[in-house]
């Protein structure tokens, strides 16, 4: 990308000259928090740089708070972000000298990635190289790691090959992430090539960032590639990155996705853009159980069991020896049983695709250890400026509660207040007004609670998709929406992920999952496909309620990406 400095894992934002920083917007505090004054003319440049190695924690109107964590630094190191560049960012934007304690901790945590290296020893064992004798002694004596050690060799410790995943998880937990250089076993060969013209007759080529993302993951086929996560906005073509990775690897591939509709979308993209035919692609869902050179399954299918105590009947699909590559679509949604199984199959190449590495269960470290570190990321606003995703504006519309609902909300137990506010009946009338006032938009009305969605759909006589809607009916309604025969569609959280609705230009969120940052990002992503119209995202929130508090948390990730929420009081 023009104007960007190249880095092994992608591109780094260009830093302004020091002469143009008369008002430096950043305050670096000794506890590791970073305060960014958003009114500064270079605040956007600082934000883009901070996103490469820090995470936004709070975003009030005038001063945003970031934090540098061990995991954010390890991901930066794995993605090829140089430590001197990080130090230059802090020095360049900081209003005051960077505290020495912060500089020292920064260098210490950054250097921890790669100070332990995992390599092949022989067919049965792996070698964990630990050059620092003190670190080696510390790891040897950790009670959690002691059962894994199988002996010593030179400056390293031996571990059974099948303990590869368990060791990596434990090392991350104890602050010594290993660089995994063991390589991968060969799956069954698969000759796959991307077409220059799709089967539907459209010219096709990879965008530059898609090519860079696949190359960063593959790393020329060497031991430093083959496992990791690519982070791109919804609508930026993560599926295409997956196909490019498959072309690099050229081996049988298992693709895991969120639902049957997404499975069918993956199948259609593969058929349209590669030389594979339908006989080489299998669907492994509740409807079919086909295992072929490219097999597409749902997480729900892999984690199905007849009873709570029963076995996961289909998880064995993940362990089949034929796979040379496993693609985890929407990797931030990975369920715990799939995490456990992934720990057992570290010999397979693994690509995670997601719009945000945020996990509301706090298991980002498991993604790092078991799928791999972040290999590539492009800020959302960068792709918006390039025209690869739609320009979008976000608006939080606050709605008053009736006096009776306010009293019920005030007297309710804390755990019940959010839902009471989220299901505010006045929201139905605002939805109706927004639909009437935007007659030229294709509109998605998205919510969490089925009863509320049924009320909206019934009042406005609109079609509704929930988890109970049969797959065939879902696909029919999605097709009608894509074709323009259907202008407004009401959807539950089943539409949060991996649903391609390119002409949707307005999303109205009437309720969500508490303070879920990744859900907010995914829902905005439903309207980010490039189009002639600007995309608009309305989040309807009950004023002076528990829902309003959670809304501020939901917006954090998108604010970090450069989006701003305009606050509007409806009816005020």
What are the sequence ranges of the domains in the chain?
A: 5-112, 116-176, 208-378, 385-569
State yes or no: pLDDT of 306 exceeds 90: no
Binned at pLDDT 50, 70 and 90, residue 304 comes out as confident
State yes or no: pLDDT of 3 exceeds 80: no
Q: pLDDT above 90 covers what percent of the chain?
A: 57
So what's the pLDDT on residue 494? 83
Residue 548 phi/psi, 5° resolution? Answer: -65, -35
How many beta carbons lie within 10 A of that of residue 30, not counting itself? 11
Return the C-alpha torsion angle 552, 556, 557, 560, nearest 10. Answer: 140
The contacts of residue 385 (CB under 8 Å, 6+ apart) are none
Which region, left, alpha or beta, applies to residue 51 given φ > 0 means left and ψ of -120 to 50 means alpha? alpha
**3.40.50.150, 3.40.50.10490, 3.40.50.11690, 3.40.50.300: CATH of 385-569:** 3.40.50.300
Structure-block tokens of residue 319: 């362990």
Tokens 């960032």 belong to residue:
209
Binned at pLDDT 50, 70 and 90, residue 283 comes out as very high
Distance of alpha carbon 336 from alpha carbon 334, whole angstroms: 7
Dump pLDDT digits (tens) for 497-513.
767 787 889 999 999 88
Beta bridge partners of 225: none
Long-range contacts (CB closer than 8 Å, 24 or more residues apart) made by 235-239: 235/389, 235/390, 235/525, 235/528, 235/529, 235/530, 236/209, 236/378, 236/383, 236/388, 236/389, 236/528, 237/207, 237/210, 237/388, 238/329, 238/353, 238/354, 238/355, 239/265, 239/266, 239/269, 239/329, 239/353
Distance of alpha carbon 255 from alpha carbon 267, whole angstroms: 10
- In three state form, how does the secondary structure of 70-131 look? HHHHHHHHHCCCCHHHHHHHHHHHECCCCCHHHHHHHHHHHHHCCCEEEEECCCCEEEEEEC
So what's the pLDDT on residue 363? 79
Binned at pLDDT 50, 70 and 90, residue 6 comes out as very low
**Would you tell me the crossing angle of helices 450-460 and 426-437 to the nearest 10 degrees?**
50
Binned at pLDDT 50, 70 and 90, residue 9 comes out as very low
So what's the pLDDT on residue 378? 83
- 385-569 and 208-378 share a CATH fold: yes
Dump pLDDT digits (tens) for 110-138.
999 989 999 999 889 999 999 899 999 99
The DSSP output letter for 251 is B
Distance of alpha carbon 273 from alpha carbon 196, whole angstroms: 8
Binned at pLDDT 50, 70 and 90, residue 1 comes out as very low
Find out whether 93 and 18 touch, Cβ atoms under 8 Å.
no
Sort strands 253-257 and 325-329 into parallel, antiparallel or unpaired. parallel
208-378: in CATH 1.10.1660.10:
no
Bigger pLDDT: 327 or 340? 327
Tell me the mean pLDDT in the region 315-337: 87
Dump pLDDT digits (tens) for 232-262.
988 899 999 999 999 999 999 999 998 898 9
End-to-end CA distance of the chain: 45
pTM, full prediction: 0.86
Sort strands 349-354 and 227-231 into parallel, antiparallel or unpaired. parallel
DSSP assignment of 372-419 equals --EEEE--HHHHHHTTSS--EEEEEEEEPPPHHHHHHHHHS-HHHHHH
State yes or no: pLDDT of 60 exceeds 90: no
So what's the pLDDT on residue 498? 61
So what's the pLDDT on residue 343? 84
Tell me the mean pLDDT in the region 151-171: 92
- The per-residue pLDDT of the chain, averaged, comes to 89
The DSSP output letter for 11 is E
Structure-block tokens of residue 207: 């965008």
The DSSP output letter for 196 is S
């Amino acid at each position: 990308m023009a104007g960007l400095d190249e880095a092994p894992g992608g591109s780094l934002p260009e830093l302004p000259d020091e002469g143009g920083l008369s008002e430096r917007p950043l305050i670096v505090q000794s506890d590791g928090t970073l305060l960014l004054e958003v009114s500064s003319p270079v605040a956007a440049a600082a934000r883009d740089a901070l996103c490469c190695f820090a995470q936004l924690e709070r975003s009030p109107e005038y001063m945003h708070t970031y934090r540098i964590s061990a995991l954010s630094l390890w991901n930066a190191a794995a993605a090829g972000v140089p430590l001197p560049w990080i130090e230059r960012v802090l020095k360049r934007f900081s209003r005051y000298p960077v505290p020495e304690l912060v500089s020292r901790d920064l260098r210490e945590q950054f250097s921890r990635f790669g100070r332990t290296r995992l390599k092949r020893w022989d067919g049965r064992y792996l070698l964990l190289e630990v050059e620092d004798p003190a670190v080696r002694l510390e790891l040897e004596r950790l009670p959690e790691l002691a059962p894994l050690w199988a002996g010593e060799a030179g400056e390293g410790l031996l571990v059974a090959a099948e303990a590869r995943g368990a060791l990596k998880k434990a090392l991350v937990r104890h602050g010594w992430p290993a660089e995994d250089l063991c390589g991968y076993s060969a799956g069954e060969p698969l000759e796959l090539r991307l077409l220059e013209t799709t089967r539907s007759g459209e010219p096709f080529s990879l965008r530059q960032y898609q090519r860079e993302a696949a190359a960063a993951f593959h790393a020329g086929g060497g031991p430093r590639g083959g496992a990791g996560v690519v982070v791109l906005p919804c609508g930026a073509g993560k599926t295409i990155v997956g196909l490019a990775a498959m072309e690099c690897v050229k081996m049988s591939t298992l693709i895991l996705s969120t639902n049957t509709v997404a499975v069918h979308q993956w199948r259609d993209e593969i058929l349209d853009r590669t030389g594979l035919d339908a006989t080489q692609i299998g669907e492994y869902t509740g409807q079919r159980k086909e295992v072929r050179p490219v097999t597409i399954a749902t997480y729900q299918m892999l984690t199905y069991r007849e009873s709570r105590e029963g076995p996961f009947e289909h998880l064995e699909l993940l362990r089949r020896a034929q796979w040379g590559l496993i693609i985890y679509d929407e990797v931030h949604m990975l369920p715990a049983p799939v995490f456990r199984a992934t720990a057992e199959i570290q010999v397979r190449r693994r690509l995670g695709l997601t719009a945000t590495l945020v996990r509301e269960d706090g298991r980002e470290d498991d993604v790092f250890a078991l799928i791999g570190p972040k290999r590539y990321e492009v800020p959302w606003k960068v792709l918006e400026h390039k025209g690869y995703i739609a320009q979008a504006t976000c608006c939080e519309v606050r709605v008053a509660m009736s006096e009776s609902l306010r009293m019920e909300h005030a007297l309710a137990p804390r755990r019940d207040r959010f839902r009471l506010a989220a299901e505010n009946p006045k929201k139905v009338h605002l939805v109706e007004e927004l639909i009437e006032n935007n007659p030229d938009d294709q509109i998605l009305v998205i919510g969490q609670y089925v009863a509320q969605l049924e009320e909206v759909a019934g009042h406005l006589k609109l079609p509704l998709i929930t988890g109970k809607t049969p797959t065939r009916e879902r696909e029919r309604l999605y097709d009608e929406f894509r074709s323009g025969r259907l202008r407004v569609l009401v959807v539950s959280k089943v539409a949060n992920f991996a649903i391609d609705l390119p002409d949707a230009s307005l999303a109205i969120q009437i309720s969500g999952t508490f303070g879920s940052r990744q859900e907010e990002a995914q829902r905005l992503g439903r309207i980010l496909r490039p189009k002639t119209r600007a995309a608009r995202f309305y989040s309807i929130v009950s004023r002076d309620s528990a829902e309003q508090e959670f809304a501020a948390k939901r917006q954090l990730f998108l604010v970090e990406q450069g989006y701003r929420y305009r606050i509007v009081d409806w009816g005020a």
